[in-house]
Chain A
Amino acid sequence: MSGAIVQLMDVWKAYDGVQALQGLDLEILRGEIFGLIGPNGAGKTTAIKIIVGILKMDKGIVRVGGHNITDNPYEYKRLIGYVPETVSLPDYLTVEEFLTYSGKIRGVPSPVIREQADFYLKAFELEEKRKTMIFFLSRGMKQKAAMASALIHDPEILILDEPFIGIDPAGQYKVKELFNERVRAGRTIFISTHMLDTAERLCNRVAIIHRGRGIASGNMENLRRLSKTGENTTLEEVFLKLTQEAVQPYPEEQPKKKSFSLFRFGGR
């Protein structure tokens, strides 16, 4: 692992006056599987949407692969592959056509598209469905097709919002294997999940956010230390302790001055 591929610094976002993110700081390192966890409404999806450029932040700095995404909102997108929480795909395309489309709009050369499509159709066990219209696929298969499309350009970082929903256990196992392979090849995986046991086993580091703020981050050892729980405590126990401690009322409005953050993420 070397250097940060994604950095969020003091990111704020409000929806109709309700603060979704309140000065969030995050740092995701190259070559790691990073997990973002938090209760419902904590701001996980908002943070991810800001990173992938489909939501604008009110304030803050986000860097992806060294690019400031506000200054250069397009170039950095070639570095990312993204799968949203609710996968909605162009139903009228076949699986193969969809992968072609995803590659083409990212400027991947035709021979590479064919090669990558073959590889990921096999990896996600979608070979038989290659010529099937997405409309006729099950939810789990659509999720796999979305993952394959997010990988077609071999992105530096794969960003997935709740990636295991709708995928059967065997499929989940394959996906995890694929994540580990990519990390071994120096790529980065960033997932947001509610499945704490999966996050504990899969991720190198985890960040816990609550009410739009980061309340802790690090590997399991760091988290246990921060939460002052015992050596053998699970991520679930750490998560519950930290989120209960962090309960505090929302501030009335966004402060004009830069806020002081107790926990700086990304420290090792």
Chain B
Amino acid sequence: MGIVIDLFKMKIKVFFGSLRASKGSLLLFLVYFLGMLPATIGLSISIELLRGGMDLSAYVDTLAAIISGFVALALIFTYTGFKVFEYEQGFVLTSPITPRQYLLAGLLSDMVVPIFFFNTVPIFFMVVAIRLALTITSILVMFSSFLFFVFFLLFLKYSLSIYISIYEGIWLRVVTSAVLVVFLLPAVGLFAPLSIKYGALPYPTTFLARCILESLSNRLPIGSFLGLGLYFLALLAIFLASSRRNFFPFANPIPLMSPFDSSMRMQSIKVGKSMKTFSRVGLMMTLNPDSKSLLRFLMKKEFLRMVRDGSLFTTLLMYIILSFIVVFSAERGAPTPVWLSTLMIYSLIVPSMLIGLWRVVEMDSLWIPLTSGMDLDKLVKAILYDLIMIAFAIPAVFIAALTFSNLIEPLMPLVLVFSMSMIGCSANLYVVTRFLGRKHRAAPWMMISWASLLLTALLLIPTYILSGLSLLLNLSLQLNAILSTFIIAYSTLVFIYLSKATAKEALSIEI
């Protein structure tokens, strides 16, 4: 067992590597925790409101469908066989460790790592247990059924990927796909008339849904709990059988996948794949030295980057999906706030995604502008102008198209997107620039993104309030125009301040 614990400790240390290396990331972790807290408490209170005296077992189908989604994800991950991190292939699989020891260490690690990300879950359960006055037995049943299911998922993922690696044949993937369809099929019943419902099927996901919902009503779901236990035992037997097989020679090495990996090798590989894909289209445009102004030249260079690394395509794709949502919801008579809130989420995510990609692509070649003696203010402006252009222009085109189709009223959505792209891009770039220097490079990208999103959201509060007023009070066009002017002026001021602060920050970057 000693070797399993040692390997487990090493896996944890490698996974959280850069989080331990930087003091800044500990502060970011605190920001993450505090940021999650309001949502957690809000969600736990909403559970109480949801119960509100009604029978929670009515939600079995919905909850089982959501849980089945996780099973489907686990199954999809098995398609490419058993994956090991590159460092493990080099140092662990070449040691006398047995496959079972390796798998046990992996199981432990897979159990511990999520605790970090879902660190507010205990608070969630505490609030739920107190507000719903749950008995100790109900809490225990809910907790242990959840554990049974997590192990069920992990055993399934490990065993299937091992067999897929060893046997390689297509038939195992076909069986996996069939299982995936079987798991997801009843979910169709939630949207369309279909007689198959999760509630009537002996699925592990149904059992877990029942265990959770009935425990919340202080009832004992003995049948479902036993059913889940049986699934757990069956998968345990399969896992034990598969762990006897020497799958080491068949394992696929992959770079470390950790949100705390400061080398960002995985993201670099993904961007590299995008570059290969988009190089043909991207090479139709070229960068020549004839631009009169340096700013225009740098903007063109940034635009080329976004075309060639796939940033532009990804943004386009996201807004195409959004336009489908809008058309679908408008046809079904959904109120404006439904799709407007989707647009707001998009506009919050797009600048973060664009700056994240910029960081992956440009971080290591920053030495070029920094050693050139160029005016870094121009570089910052070029990056921001391009990003804002993309983050604003693409949704603006979609909003225009939807306006012509008489599906939406354009003023407030346009102003919202403008404000969110101006504030989002400048806030994200500012935060990312603060973490570019060698002192803070070890800060994990996930935490940096989180801090950027938080700053963006805080700076957007005035925008949210003004646009919310417009929607709630159903204001006239003239009043809306006045509110819009305020929002635009405020966003422009934030942009000017942050772009100057970013350029100042860039001057002190040490590599």
Contacts and interface: CB of A to CB of B under 8 A. Distances in A.
Are both chains from one complex?
A: yes
Contacts, number: 95
A101 B301 contact: yes
A106 B368 contact: no
A93 B371 contact: no
Interface in A232-247: none
A102 B173 CA distance: 50
A113 B288 CA distance: 10
Contacts of B369: 105
A133 B275 contact: yes
Contacts of B305: 90, 92
Contacts of A82: 367, 371
Interface string B338-375: 00000000000000000000000110110111111110
B382 to A, nearest CB: 11
B331 interface: no
A21 B293 CA distance: 41
B70 to A, nearest CB: 36
B304 interface: yes
B301 A76 contact: no
A80 B371 contact: yes
A105 B294 contact: yes
B266 to A, nearest CB: 16
Contacts of B367: 54, 82, 84, 88
Given A77-B373, A106-B373, A135 B294 contact: no
B361 A91 contact: yes
A98 B201 CA distance: 61
B279 interface: yes
A170 B284 CA distance: 34
B276 A135 contact: yes
Nearest to B510: A55
Contact of B374 (A52, A100, A106, A113): A106
A149 to B, nearest CB: 7
A3 to B, nearest CB: 22
Contacts of B304: 92-93, 97
Interface in A172-211: none
B355 to A, nearest CB: 16
A88 B372 contact: no
Contacts of A80: 371
Contacts of A89: 365, 368
Most buried by B among A55, A100, A107, A136: A100
Given A55-B510, A91-B275, A104-B294, A97 B371 contact: no
B240 to A, nearest CB: 45
Interface string B309-321: 1000000000000
B452 to A, nearest CB: 23
A15 to B, nearest CB: 9
A75 interface: yes
B372 A92 contact: no
Contacts of B287: 93, 97, 100-101
Interface string B421-433: 0000000000000
B308 A92 contact: yes
Interface string A33-76: 00000000000000001001111100000000000000000111
B335 to A, nearest CB: 43
Given A78-B373, A90-B365, A93-B304, A56 B510 contact: yes
A103 interface: yes
A77 B372 contact: yes
B371 A52 contact: yes
A51 B227 CA distance: 70
Contacts of A129: none
B299 to A, nearest CB: 12
B147 to A, nearest CB: 42
A228 interface: no
Contacts of A131: 283
A77 B373 CA distance: 5
B286 interface: yes
A94 B283 contact: yes
B113 interface: no
B373 A104 contact: no
B203 interface: no
A97 B286 contact: yes
A249 to B, nearest CB: 26
B364 A77 contact: no
B237 to A, nearest CB: 48
Q: Which of B282, B283, B304, B368 has the most CB of A within 10 A?
A: B368
B309 A92 contact: yes
A184 to B, nearest CB: 25
B386 to A, nearest CB: 13
B511 A54 contact: yes
Contact of B511 (A49, A74, A136): A49
A49 B301 CA distance: 26
Interface string B260-289: 000000000000100110010011001111
Interface in A115-134: 131, 133
A110 interface: yes
With most chain B CB atoms within 10 A of its CB, the pick from A91, A92, A101, A106 is A92
A78 B275 CA distance: 32
Given A89-B365, A91-B272, A92-B361, A106 B279 contact: no
Nearest to A92: B308
A139 interface: no
A102 B368 contact: yes
B496 to A, nearest CB: 23
B288 A105 contact: no
A135 B279 CA distance: 10
Contacts of A94: 283, 286
Contacts of B279: 133, 135-136
A135 B275 contact: yes
B15 interface: no
A149 B367 CA distance: 12
B297 interface: yes
A264 interface: no
A202 to B, nearest CB: 23
A75 B368 contact: no
Interface in A131-145: 131, 133, 135-136
B374 to A, nearest CB: 4
A82 B373 CA distance: 12
Nearest to B307: A92
The list of the 4 closest CB pairs from A to B, nearest first, reads A77-B373, A88-B364, A110-B289, A92-B308
Interface of B: 272, 275-276, 279, 282-283, 286-291, 294, 297-298, 301, 304-305, 308-309, 361-362, 364-365, 367-374, 438, 508-511
12 contacts: A56-B508, A82-B367, A88-B365, A90-B368, A92-B308, A93-B287, A94-B286, A97-B287, A104-B291, A104-B297, A105-B294, A133-B275
Given A105-B374, A133-B308, 5 more contacts: A53-B371, A90-B365, A100-B289, A101-B301, A135-B275
